[in-house]
Structure 1
Amino acid sequence: MTMGTLLRVSQHCPRCEFTNQWSSQPVVNNIPAGDLQLCAAVLFTGSSFSQISKFLGACNIQGLSEQCFYRHHAKLLIPTVNRQWKLEQDDVIREALEGGSVTLGGDMRADSPGHSAKYGSYTMMNLTSNKVIDIQLVQSNEVGIGERMKKEGLVRSLTMLEERGVNVEAIVTDRHTGVQKFLREEKKEISHYFDPWHMGKGIGKKVDELAKRKSTQDVSLWRETVVNHLYWSASTSSSGQEAVAKWTSVANHMQNVHTHDNVLFPRCLHETLVEERSRPWLKPNTAACERLADLLLAPRFVKDVEKISPVHHTSSLEAFHRLTIRFSPKSVGFCFKGMLAR
Structure 2
Amino acid sequence: MTRLPQSEEKREEWSQKLRIDIKEKLGGLKTGFLCRKHFPLQKNTHFRPRQSLPLRPRKLSEKIDIDEPVENLDSESPTESLSDDLICSSDKEYDPTQEGFADKEEDFEEQERYEYLLVDYEILLKALLFCRKCYSEDVSFKLERNNGACTSMLFDCNNCRATWHWASSKLLGKSKQRAVNSIISSSCAVVGLPYSVCDHNVKLVKLSVLQKLLEFFNCARIPCLKKRRNYQILKKYVMPAVADASEEVQKEELNIVLLDSQKTGSLNLAGDAMFDTPGYNAEYCKYSLLDVKTNMVVDVEVTKKPKKESSKAQEPKSLERVLNRVIDAIESHDKKIKIDSITTDRDPSVSNLLKTKFKSIKQHYDAWHYVRNLQKALWKKEDQTQMRPVKPWIRLLTNHLYHAIGTSKGNGKLAVQKFMGFFLHVQNKHKGFKKFRNFKFTKIRKCEHKKLVNNSNYLDITNDKDSKALDILVEMSTKGKKLDDLERVSPFFSHNNEKGFAMRSQLSTLHWNSLKLEERSGSRQKSGTKSHFSKSLKRIVWNDFFTPATHSWRRKIVEDVKKRCSIIDNNGTKIPGVKKEGKLGGASDSDEEMLPDSTTG
What TM-score results when the alignment is normalised by the length of structure 1? 0.86
Between the aligned partners of 1:212 and 1:143, the Cα distance in structure 2 is 46
Q: Does the CA-based 8 Å contact 1:122-1:154 persist in structure 2?
A: yes
Q: Does the CA-based 8 Å contact 1:42-1:52 persist in structure 2?
A: no
Note if 1:80 corresponds to 2:226: no
Aligned partner of 1:322 in structure 2 is: none
Q: Does the CA-based 8 Å contact 1:39-1:73 persist in structure 2?
A: yes
Name the larger-Rg structure.
Answer: 2
Q: Give the alignment partner of residue 301 of structure 1, picking from 477, 482, 501.
A: 482
Q: Does the CA-based 8 Å contact 2:342-2:361 persist in structure 1?
A: yes
Offset, 1:198:
2.0
Offset, 1:214:
4.3
Note if 1:47 corresponds to 2:193: yes
- Deviations 1:173-229 (CA, angstroms, capped at 9, x unpaired): 222222122212321211222222222112111211232544335544333212111
> What SS does the aligned partner of 1:31 have?
coil
Aligned partner of 1:144 in structure 2 is: 309
Aligned partner of 1:252 in structure 2 is: 424
Aligned partner of 1:327 in structure 2 is: none
Evaluate the alpha carbon distance shift between residue 219 and residue 108 of structure 1 in structure 2; reply closer, same or farther with a 3 A threshold.
farther
Between the aligned partners of 1:253 and 1:142, the Cα distance in structure 2 is 54
Q: Give the alignment partner of residue 165 of structure 2, picking from 21, 28, 32.
A: 21
Between the aligned partners of 1:182 and 1:3, the Cα distance in structure 2 is 52
Gaps of 5+ in 2: 1-143, 197-211, 332-337, 435-440, 505-601
Between the aligned partners of 1:217 and 1:139, the Cα distance in structure 2 is 49
Note if 1:292 corresponds to 2:454: no
Q: Does the CA-based 8 Å contact 1:211-1:218 persist in structure 2?
A: no
Aligned residues: 322
Q: Does the CA-based 8 Å contact 1:241-1:306 persist in structure 2?
A: yes
> What SS does the aligned partner of 2:313 have?
helix
Aligned partner of 1:325 in structure 2 is: none
Q: Does the CA-based 8 Å contact 2:389-2:457 persist in structure 1?
A: no
Offset, 1:243:
1.2
Evaluate the alpha carbon distance shift between residue 218 and residue 6 of structure 1 in structure 2; reply closer, same or farther with a 3 A threshold.
farther
Note if 1:34 corresponds to 2:176: no
> Quick one: percent identity of the two aligned structures?
24
Evaluate the alpha carbon distance shift between residue 135 and residue 20 of structure 1 in structure 2; reply closer, same or farther with a 3 A threshold.
same
Offset, 1:38:
0.7
Aligned partner of 2:501 in structure 1 is: 339
> What SS does the aligned partner of 2:368 have?
helix
Q: Give the alignment partner of residue 396 of structure 2, picking from 225, 246, 249.
A: 225
Note if 1:314 corresponds to 2:485: no
Offset, 1:37:
0.7
Q: Which moved more, 1:90-99 or 1:200-209?
A: 90-99
Offset, 1:120:
2.2
Aligned partner of 1:9 in structure 2 is: 153
- Deviations 1:247-291 (CA, angstroms, capped at 9, x unpaired): 11122223333342213111212345433x443537566442212
> What SS does the aligned partner of 1:20 have?
strand
How is 1:152-301 mapped onto 2 (pairs within 5 angstroms)?
A: 152-165=317-330, 167-211=338-382, 213-216=384-387, 219-238=390-409, 239-259=411-431, 260-261=433-434, 262-275=441-454, 277-279=455-457, 281=459, 283=461, 286-301=467-482
One-letter amino acid of the counterpart of residue 55, structure 1? F
> What SS does the aligned partner of 1:165 have?
helix
Evaluate the alpha carbon distance shift between residue 73 and residue 212 of structure 1 in structure 2; reply closer, same or farther with a 3 A threshold.
farther
One-letter amino acid of the counterpart of residue 173, structure 1? T
One-letter amino acid of the counterpart of residue 162, structure 2? F
- Deviations 1:40-94 (CA, angstroms, capped at 9, x unpaired): 1221121112221111011111111111011111111111111111111122222
Between the aligned partners of 2:274 and 2:388, the Cα distance in structure 1 is 33
Between the aligned partners of 1:133 and 1:187, the Cα distance in structure 2 is 18
Note if 1:127 corresponds to 2:292: yes
Evaluate the alpha carbon distance shift between residue 156 and residue 88 of structure 1 in structure 2; reply closer, same or farther with a 3 A threshold.
same
> What SS does the aligned partner of 2:490 have?
coil
Offset, 1:302:
0.9
- Deviations 1:129-177 (CA, angstroms, capped at 9, x unpaired): 1111111123344672222232222111101112223542221122222
> What SS does the aligned partner of 1:120 have?
strand
Between the aligned partners of 2:281 and 2:387, the Cα distance in structure 1 is 34
What TM-score results when the alignment is normalised by the length of structure 2? 0.50
> What SS does the aligned partner of 1:103 have?
strand
Between the aligned partners of 1:234 and 1:131, the Cα distance in structure 2 is 22
Evaluate the alpha carbon distance shift between residue 257 and residue 150 of structure 1 in structure 2; reply closer, same or farther with a 3 A threshold.
farther
Between the aligned partners of 1:217 and 1:109, the Cα distance in structure 2 is 38
Evaluate the alpha carbon distance shift between residue 8 and residue 169 of structure 1 in structure 2; reply closer, same or farther with a 3 A threshold.
same
Q: Which moved more, 1:62-71 or 1:234-243?
A: 234-243
Gaps of 5+ in 1: 319-334
> What SS does the aligned partner of 1:201 have?
helix
Aligned partner of 2:89 in structure 1 is: none
Between the aligned partners of 1:141 and 1:203, the Cα distance in structure 2 is 35
Q: Does the CA-based 8 Å contact 1:105-1:313 persist in structure 2?
A: no
> What SS does the aligned partner of 2:151 have?
strand
One-letter amino acid of the counterpart of residue 314, structure 1? S
One-letter amino acid of the counterpart of residue 242, structure 2? V
Q: Does the CA-based 8 Å contact 2:289-2:300 persist in structure 1?
A: yes
Aligned partner of 2:510 in structure 1 is: none
- Deviations 1:102-133 (CA, angstroms, capped at 9, x unpaired): 21110112222334333221110112211111
Between the aligned partners of 1:282 and 1:299, the Cα distance in structure 2 is 27
> What SS does the aligned partner of 2:396 have?
helix
Between the aligned partners of 2:318 and 2:384, the Cα distance in structure 1 is 39
One-letter amino acid of the counterpart of residue 292, structure 1? L
Between the aligned partners of 1:306 and 1:14, the Cα distance in structure 2 is 88
Structure 1 segments (4+ residues) deviating >6 Å: none
Evaluate the alpha carbon distance shift between residue 44 and residue 188 of structure 1 in structure 2; reply closer, same or farther with a 3 A threshold.
same
Q: Does the CA-based 8 Å contact 1:136-1:157 persist in structure 2?
A: yes
Between the aligned partners of 1:113 and 1:152, the Cα distance in structure 2 is 18
Between the aligned partners of 1:136 and 1:220, the Cα distance in structure 2 is 43
Q: Does the CA-based 8 Å contact 2:427-2:458 persist in structure 1?
A: no
Between the aligned partners of 1:31 and 1:87, the Cα distance in structure 2 is 26
One-letter amino acid of the counterpart of residue 447, structure 2? C
Evaluate the alpha carbon distance shift between residue 142 and residue 228 of structure 1 in structure 2; reply closer, same or farther with a 3 A threshold.
farther
